[in-house]
Structure 1
Amino acid sequence: MKKGLIIGATGSIGSAVRKMLLAKTDVQLTLYSRRASRLKLTVDRETAVAGSATDDDQLNQAIKGQDFVFVALSGDMNSFAAHIISAMERNGVQRLIFITTMGIYQEIPAWLGDSPEPYHNPILKSFRQAADRIEQSDLNYTIIRPGWYNNGPINYEITQKGEPFGGHDVSRGSIADYVVKLITEPTLDN
């Protein structure tokens, strides 16, 4: 049975991934959030940990013994990535699935709008720096670059780095579906 850590478990994407993992797998989950006390746990499958994505001691404790780490945060993504990668390396955890955003590789086609240079765009810069940091690590990673979230049906396409985006909006359920596939099919998109 796999053990996994969701960092950002109380956010909309973390919650969607959690719900789908509980429904479709037997993964034992550790839910990591600054607001972990808000979580109602499935007692036999989940543990909640209150912590910060920049607190090395808290991250070490949460990451130790996990088979994978899923990250869905907002904020200083580069700093979060640095702390999470370090904790994973210290604890010998190799599998990372990390949510960033569309546009970090200037892959947005003209019909969707401007595709600014990410290092000069204040919104994209931290996401791109996080992706660069992850790519430079020795981890087995998948960087997910969704467009705008909605609550629509599960319906998505995957674009690889270097390919133009094929769409814009994506449902939270679609992201969760893809994450579950990444966890249950170890050789998919890594």
Structure 2
Amino acid sequence: MKHIQIRNSDMAWHIAANNLGKSFMKNVLILGAGGQIARHVINQLADKQTIKQTLFARQPAKIHKPYPTNSKIIMGDVLNHAALKQAMQGQDVVYANLTGEDLDIQANSVIAAMKACDVKRLIFVLSLGIYDEVPGKFGEWNNAVICEPLKPFRRAADAIEASGLEYTILRPAWLTDEDIIDYELTSRNEPFKGTIVSRKSVAALITDIIDKPEKHIGENIGINQPGTDGDKPFFM
């Protein structure tokens, strides 16, 4: 295959698509691109010549620089339906890295835009604890600390599962900034394991799904670092 250097311009992407073959190109929309997990995903996708990243954020200044050459930046809010649908055009995979008291409303906006633009594949990061699936003393502690804020996360999960999209929901443990990729997975109906997981590990799983979008379709996955069972995260 001929080597193609992809630069951050529409012309470069047009040339790359012609040389690599359009079937190899993958357009990925990252919502909440200024987030900490998203930063790792963006970096892990940066050297992939067959991926074009669209980085969508309310505050683009929060997106880590330098910007990858295979990316473009769009300033926007997922609750701005016109802006979101414009960003959604031609995307193959949507990765949502969103949060807030209105997360369920944001999720429904994403779902509506994806359906309007005939985009099927969604990766959405939520949180552990939305199903009261965390056992033991850690579960009791987790509920005491974040039970109320998790209610819109649960409503978002319900909307995604009922959407008819090819979704993957991720429910990470408490997040760390450790420079490590080490994780294990639990299903929706399994007790949650561990107390922590690195943002870099969550990003590695997201990147793997973006690389192989057929993986984990219709799954609702807990993700934690093995061997971190305890009554609460070590840093609390």
Same fold (TM over 0.5): yes
2:232 aligned residue: none
1:9-24 superposed matches below 5 A: 9-23=33-47
Cα deviation 1:130-155 (Å, max 9, x = unaligned): 00000000100000000111122111
Q: Please state if 1:166 is matched with 2:204.
A: no
Structure with greater contact order relative to length (CA < 8 Å, sep ≥ 6):
1
Stretches of structure 1 lacking an aligned partner (at least 5 in a row)? none
Match of 1:28 among 52, 59, 64: 52
2:5 aligned residue: none
Cα deviation 1:60-86 (Å, max 9, x = unaligned): 011110001001111111011010000
Q: Please state if 1:155 is matched with 2:179.
A: no
1:73 aligned residue: 98
2:77 aligned residue: 52
Offset, 1:26 = 3.1
| Paired residues, number | 187
Letter aligned with residue 168 of structure 2? T
SS in 1 for 2:79: coil
CA distance in 2, matches of 1:160, 1:23: 31
CA distance in 1, matches of 2:194, 2:139: 12
Offset, 1:34 = 0.6
Maintained 8 Å contact 1:37/1:50: no
CA distance in 1, matches of 2:150, 2:62: 30
Q: CA RMSD in A?
A: 1.8
Q: What is the aligned-residue identity percentage? A: 39
CA distance in 1, matches of 2:186, 2:157: 15
Cα deviation 1:20-68 (Å, max 9, x = unaligned): 111456310000001124544223x111000001110010011110001
Offset, 1:188 = 1.5
1:141 aligned residue: 167
SS in 1 for 2:184: coil
Match of 1:4 among 9, 22, 28: 28
CA distance in 1, matches of 2:215, 2:193: 20
Maintained 8 Å contact 2:126/2:170: yes
Q: TM-score, normalised by structure 1?
A: 0.92
Maintained 8 Å contact 2:107/2:159: yes
1:109 aligned residue: 135
Return closer, same or farther for 1:168/1:46 CA change in 2, 3 Å cut-off.
Answer: same
Maintained 8 Å contact 2:132/2:139: no
Q: TM-score, normalised by structure 2?
A: 0.75
Offset, 1:111 = 3.7
Offset, 1:113 = 2.9
Stretches of structure 2 lacking an aligned partner (at least 5 in a row)? 1-24, 218-236
CA distance in 1, matches of 2:197, 2:49: 23
Letter aligned with residue 45 of structure 2? L
SS in 2 for 1:149: strand
Maintained 8 Å contact 2:121/2:213: no
